[in-house]
Structure 1
Amino acid sequence: MTVLLTRRQFAGALALSAGGALSGLACPAIIRPALAKPAEGLEILGAPNGSTIVLLRLLQSGALDAAAPGASFRLWRDTDELRAAIVSGRTSLFTTPTHVPANLANRGLPLKLFAILSMGHLFVVSGDESIKSFKDLAGKELVGFFKNDMPDLVFRSIAKGYGMDPDKDMTITYVRTPMEAAQMLASGRATTAILSEPPATASIMMAKKEGRTLYRSISLQEDWKKQHNGLGLPMAGIAIHERLLDENPELIAAMRAGLPGARDWVMANKAEAGQLAEAKMDVKAHMFANALDHFNVVAEGAASLKPGLVAFYETLLAFQPDALAGKLPPDSFYLNM
């Protein structure tokens, strides 16, 4: 489980075409309240990442019942599936890595970034006690995942910021998924790995059962902040279709009112949050609960975090322009919560 997309999934996003045109009215400010209606039968899609638990809790709590009666939840696994749900109108609300809706908006789909749920959950985990800072990776062998995708690009950007070349100053072997890297690390087949959460926590827990000690050696989001004037790494959030703003303002209001409390409940009730994640997100409850402190879960409006999002997007554009369809999203892409 991870907020990050494979290269195949990236390709799916890049192939996405515009759809779901927004209908407009001449005097929306006057007639919008009369047209407002509950979003009945809304299917909420969740990316298989830890921060999705905040929206899941909001739904479970009943806070959306009046504005979206009969709303359901399911995970989306790749961007082809997400595209079909958006274009068909089955969903107008989903959690997502933050680069995905930016890419789709730049390709014509009427999407907005509503809120940020995670300020980064990438770590270097190692059995080597000598690794305490990024520069300690010089000359080391690492396992990485999703080459040339978001986690790899973040790592490479940080390396560049420290004057290092990850293709020359260290040796990175790539595997398909972060869980595969975590299993290699836990079994002793690798010493150091770049991992997302919850695989980072899983590797540490699995190794402990085998009598081995692994260390959470480097927080990539902390190094990112050092290199970006204190700006965080806004990796995952909630995106919406524009039609919700016009047709379902009550749902938008319910999310604005309820998300901070849902986030606080998750962090105050980790065991229960883990049980909810196991029921709805295909992850072990105890592992999820142990990983929660490392998800950097927040509930903040996208517009308030725009400087950090722009810095993040600019990094992706520098390394992989197609990740955002070659440009930054417009200012109107970022919503207040």
Structure 2
Amino acid sequence: MKKTKVISILVVIVMIFSFIGCNDKSNVESLKDGEKRIVKVFVPEGVPSISIAKLIKEKPEVKKNYEVVYETINSTDNLVSKVLNKEADIAIVPSNLPAQAFNKGLDYKICGTVGWGNLYLLSTENVDNISQLKGKEIYNIGRGLTPDIVSRYVMKNNNIDPDNDLTLTYLNGATEIAPAFISGKAKTAIMPEPMITNVLSKKEDAKIGISINDEWKKITDSKYGYPQSTLIVRDELLKDHEKFVMEFMNQINESILWANSNPEQLGEYAEELKMSITKDMAPTVMKRANLNFINIKDCKDEYRNFYKVLEEYDAKSIGGKIPDEAIYFK
């Protein structure tokens, strides 16, 4: 009788561990022998693309039977389309886009931050603190877009009313704001990298006065600042191919560490891949690019603060409301 009981208990234990094993998604191998999973990764041209230049150039294997296909997108509208149409398995996107996609019911999760704020105030006048901006005309990219919202937030929290204390002039993008500054039409402007490095090389009397991200950190008591470029992954990939995703995230981190430590070689890769920076520009760009991969579990507060600021200014910028915790990969 005792022997029968022992055998029964052992059978139950084996069944329990078998059940646990079957439901542990991290151990699931979804691909059959000989089956290949194509993973489409989209990234916008600029600092986000150079964050994974090493991966695009060298194409290291992430995991057996997985093929990663990279595509660099020149237009923000095209990138948004890739995400909203669910063409992207993985994408690096402007950090308000995940909230918009989530509020539309799309199945993407935020897995981490690739790049933090790299907006700077550039001027041909003596401006090295925000209080000196009163009464000046400031050029920026796109009213109501992220550069405008975060800049306004920084101004307001430094006792400057953007609408009454400043003259704000908005242009459509880099193709307009850089020429306006270089020609002397704009004396003060807010720009990101790598545009700044390009402009400084052509405008000797210009200098960087203020880091918008540094000011954001002071105001919000944030360790990193505001998230500018975000890594998102489709739910299906996370649920059925979690080991692959975790290894891919490791490779992104390694790529960024390499880019920060090897800017000259990064420049060579960027030139070969026809990206927006040259070998000569790369070392200077990387000093201000603020590339630093942080897993979402370590930077949720930065997103909560960021989305709160965007909602207060214009809820449409995040799709109508602050997304709940389900947007974050756990």
TM-score, length of structure 2 as denominator length: 0.84
- Structure 1 equivalent of residue 205 of structure 2: 213
Indicate whether 1:135 and 2:131 are aligned.
Answer: yes
1:110 maps to which of 91, 107, 111: 107
Indicate whether 1:330 and 2:324 are aligned.
Answer: yes
C-alpha deviation, 1:48, in angstroms: 2.1
- Structure 2 equivalent of residue 300 of structure 1: 294
Kept in 1: contact 2:46–2:275 (CA 8 A): no
- AA aligned opposite 1:35: S
- AA aligned opposite 2:208: R
Q: Give me the whole-angstrom Cα distance separating, in 2, the residues matched to 1:122 and 1:31.
A: 38
- AA aligned opposite 1:66: K
1:100 maps to which of 85, 97, 101: 97
Residue correspondences, number: 305
- Structure 2 equivalent of residue 8 of structure 1: none
- AA aligned opposite 1:108: G
Q: Give me the whole-angstrom Cα distance separating, in 2, the residues matched to 1:302 and 1:173.
A: 35
- Structure 1 equivalent of residue 171 of structure 2: 175
What does 1:62-77 correspond to in 2, within 5 Å? Answer: 62-67=59-64, 69-77=66-74
- Structure 2 equivalent of residue 230 of structure 1: 222
Indicate whether 1:272 and 2:265 are aligned.
Answer: yes
Greater shift, 176-185 or 195-204, is seen at 176-185
Kept in 1: contact 2:311–2:321 (CA 8 A): yes
What does 1:1-337 correspond to in 2, within 5 Å? Answer: 28-29=23-24, 33-36=28-31, 40-67=37-64, 69-78=66-75, 81-82=78-79, 85-86=82-83, 90-129=87-126, 131-207=127-203, 212-231=204-223, 232-280=225-273, 282-285=275-278, 286-335=280-329
- Structure 2 equivalent of residue 10 of structure 1: none
Does the C-alpha gap of structure 1 residues 112 and 39 become closer, same or farther in structure 2, counting only changes over 3 Å?
A: farther
Pairwise CA RMSD of aligned residues?
2.3
Kept in 2: contact 1:39–1:251 (CA 8 A): no
Kept in 1: contact 2:124–2:205 (CA 8 A): yes
Kept in 2: contact 1:317–1:324 (CA 8 A): yes
Q: Give me the whole-angstrom Cα distance separating, in 2, the residues matched to 1:276 and 1:44.
A: 18
Please say which structure displays the higher CA radius of gyration. 2
Does the C-alpha gap of structure 1 residues 273 and 134 become closer, same or farther in structure 2, counting only changes over 3 Å?
A: same
Kept in 2: contact 1:36–1:247 (CA 8 A): no
Kept in 2: contact 1:97–1:235 (CA 8 A): yes
SS at match of 1:223: helix
SS at match of 2:201: helix
Kept in 2: contact 1:45–1:75 (CA 8 A): yes
Greater shift, 66-75 or 100-109, is seen at 66-75
Q: Give me the whole-angstrom Cα distance separating, in 1, the residues matched to 2:26 and 2:292.
A: 34
C-alpha deviation, 1:30, in angstroms: 6.8
- AA aligned opposite 2:39: L
Kept in 2: contact 1:64–1:254 (CA 8 A): no
SS at match of 1:35: coil
Runs (5+) with no aligned partner, structure 1: 1-26
Q: Give me the whole-angstrom Cα distance separating, in 2, the residues matched to 1:201 and 1:85.
A: 29
Does the C-alpha gap of structure 1 residues 281 and 239 become closer, same or farther in structure 2, counting only changes over 3 Å?
A: farther
Greater shift, 242-251 or 111-120, is seen at 242-251
- AA aligned opposite 1:323: S
Kept in 2: contact 1:112–1:240 (CA 8 A): yes
Identity of aligned residues (%): 22
SS at match of 2:162: coil
- AA aligned opposite 1:190: A
C-alpha deviation, 1:71, in angstroms: 2.0
Kept in 2: contact 1:68–1:251 (CA 8 A): no
C-alpha deviation, 1:91, in angstroms: 2.5
C-alpha deviation, 1:75, in angstroms: 2.0
